[in-house]
Amino acid sequence: KILLGLESSCDDTAAAVLRGREILSSVVMGQTELHAAFGGVVPEIAARAHAEKLDLAVEQAVAQAGISLQDVDAVAVTAGPGLIGGVLSGVMMAKGLAAGLGKPFVGVNHLAGHALTPRLTDGLSYPYLMLLVSGGHCQFLIVRGAQDFTRLGGTIDDAPGEAFDKTARLLGLPQPGGPSVEATAVGADERRFAFPRPLLDREGCDLSFSGLKTALLRLRDRLVEAQGGLHEADRADLCAGFQAAVRDVLREKTRRALALYLAEAPAEPAFAIAGGVAANQAIRAALETLCVEHGVRFTAPPLRLCTDNAAMIAYAGSELLAAGETSDMALSARPRWPLDRSAAPLLGSGK
Ligand code: ATP
Ligand code: FE
């Protein structure tokens, strides 16, 4: 089966073609330049850009896959959660393509796309434990099926990627903050500054990162006051201290999530980390070590499939279709769409 996937829920316009688990093409068109002057994603600008670029993204994905549009067996599209204007553009595009081709289409939860990526890249079998850690999200999920997720806990305030981005901004480092903070922290002293380890005293798998940003701000201001500015070494040690705190919190909470997951005695225990923050080598290494200690297979999809892309949407769509799910013209864009089992059903035809 050949699937065309569409993704337009945030600031990347993406289209991809999958044949089974083989990625024939994956086109991602960013909008960083469009939003740069505003210090964040502007929903109206994003919506217009998606509407303008989706055609081109599909055209390129189909061309790079070496197929023609008529070869597509089904279309999968992100139907939420995300910025409503962008999601709507994608959903309308999918409806148009499906109607024009006379093929089925299916609305996919963006988060399910991220959560199912380890099956696309590493062929993990259900159930596996997943840490989704990005600019907008941080949660532990037991992934039991394409529409069956158990959320063990998540951030009660900022996402770690957001915290990395804010840290970079406070220290005058370039965006996105994750890579620049990580690079600045290399070889620096992570113990020089005392950063808190939020929520470790509380039971469970919930996390908190907003306190780290406050701590960083205070440490920075104290240095600036005392010496009139930041030296290179200060900046590096602040980055290292911040990153170590995020790493320690994620490691401890992952330890707890693993205990809950392993209590279910999964046949092939596996852990996957995904989302933009999964690119961080310090965090990755800490979690990999933890998994090895527990006899759990560790996987981390390649970065281009960890950040927003349409291959993951096509893949999630293929699992939904295989389970007999399709959407109809009543499919609507959902700005909010939690993955919890307890929440609204994953596949909505509108209501
Ligand atoms: P979501 O898809 O969950 O809505 P998003 O699109 O912002 O959020 P991603 O594209 O998955 O998330 O990831 C981007 C985030 O990952 C940014 O906040 C970025 O700073 C962070 N990030 C990228 N590389 C690294 C790194 N090496 N270390 C830490 N954070 C990183
Ligand atoms: Fe995403």
Label residue 214 exposed, middle or buried (CB < 10 Å: 0-12, 13-18, 19+): exposed
Question: Is 308 flagged in the annotation as binding?
Answer: yes
Q: Give the mutation target among 78, 111, 158, 164 for probing the ligand 1 site: most ligand atoms within 8 A of CB.
A: 164
Ligand 1 atom closest to the Cα of residue 275 is 11
CA dist list (Å): 254 to 1, 246, 293? 36, 12, 12
Contact 81, 136 (CB under 8 A): no
**281 Cα to the center of ligand 1, angstroms:** 13
Alpha carbon nearest to ligand 1 atom 1, residue: 136
Closest listed ligand to the CA of 155: 1
| Model confidence at 218: pLDDT above 60 | yes
**From CA 126, how far away is CA 124, in angstroms rounded?**
7
Place of tokens 């990162």: 209
- What tokens appear for 49 in the block? 């850009």
Which residue type occupies 277? V
Q: Give the mutation target among 10, 132, 134 for probing the ligand 1 site: most ligand atoms within 8 A of CB.
A: 134
Beta-carbon contacts of 159 under 8 Å, excluding residues fewer than 6 positions away, are: 133, 134, 135, 136, 137, 138, 209
Question: Is 207 flagged in the annotation as binding?
Answer: no
**Which residues, listed in sequence order, are joined to residue 270 by a DSSP beta bridge?**
297
Closest CA to 74 of 5, 146, 145: 5
Closest listed ligand to the CA of 274: 1
Ligand 1 atom closest to the Cα of residue 110 is 2
- pLDDT value of position 341: 58
Neighbours of 331 (CB within 10 A): 21
| Model confidence at 346: pLDDT above 60 | no
**From CA 100, how far away is CA 257, in angstroms rounded?**
46
Alpha carbon nearest to ligand 1 atom 31, residue: 178
- pLDDT value of position 240: 98
**From CA 167, how far away is CA 277, in angstroms rounded?**
14
Summarize pLDDT for 297-331 with one digit per residue, the tens: 999 999 899 889 999 999 999 999 999 999 999 99
Binning the chain into helix, strand and coil, the percentages to the nearest 5 are 45, 20, 35
> Model confidence at 122, in pLDDT bands (50, 70, 90)?
very high
Question: Is 17 flagged in the annotation as binding?
Answer: no
SS3 track for 141-184: EEEEECCEEEEEEEECCCCHHHHHHHHHHHCCCCCCHHHHHHHH
Question: Is 110 flagged in the annotation as binding?
Answer: yes
Longest dimension (CA), the chain: 69
Ligand 1 atom closest to the Cα of residue 159 is 18
Q: What's the whole-number average pLDDT of the chain? A: 93
**284 Cα to the center of ligand 1, angstroms:** 14
The conformation of residue 207, written as its DSSP 8-state character, comes to B
Summarize pLDDT for 138-194 with one digit per residue, the tens: 999 999 999 999 999 999 999 999 999 999 999 999 988 999 999 999 999 999 999
Dump the DSSP string for 322-340.
HTT----TT----S-----
**166 Cα to the center of ligand 1, angstroms:** 12
> Model confidence at 342, in pLDDT bands (50, 70, 90)?
low
Closest listed ligand to the CA of 312: 2
**From CA 119, how far away is CA 48, in angstroms rounded?**
33
**114 Cα to the center of ligand 2, angstroms:** 7
| Model confidence at 259: pLDDT above 70 | yes
Ligand 1 pocket at CB < 6 A: 10, 134-137, 161-162, 164-165, 176-179, 182, 275-277, 279-280, 307-308
**From CA 251, how far away is CA 162, in angstroms rounded?**
18
Closest listed ligand to the CA of 110: 2
| Average of per-residue pLDDT across 43-72 | 93
Place of tokens 């434990």: 129
Place of tokens 């699992």: 319
How many contiguous H segments (helices) and E segments (strands) does the chain have?
A: 11, 10
Between 39-53, 232-246, 256-270, the lowest mean confidence (pLDDT) is in 39-53
CA dist list (Å): 330 to 6, 77, 87, 327? 18, 14, 14, 8
Alpha carbon nearest to ligand 1 atom 13, residue: 276
- pLDDT value of position 347: 46
3-class state of residue 264 by DSSP:
coil
Closest CA to 2 of 80, 121, 111, 104: 104
Ligand 1 atom closest to the Cα of residue 12 is 6
Closest CA to 235 of 246, 224, 225, 249: 224
Percentage of the chain modeled with pLDDT above 90: 83
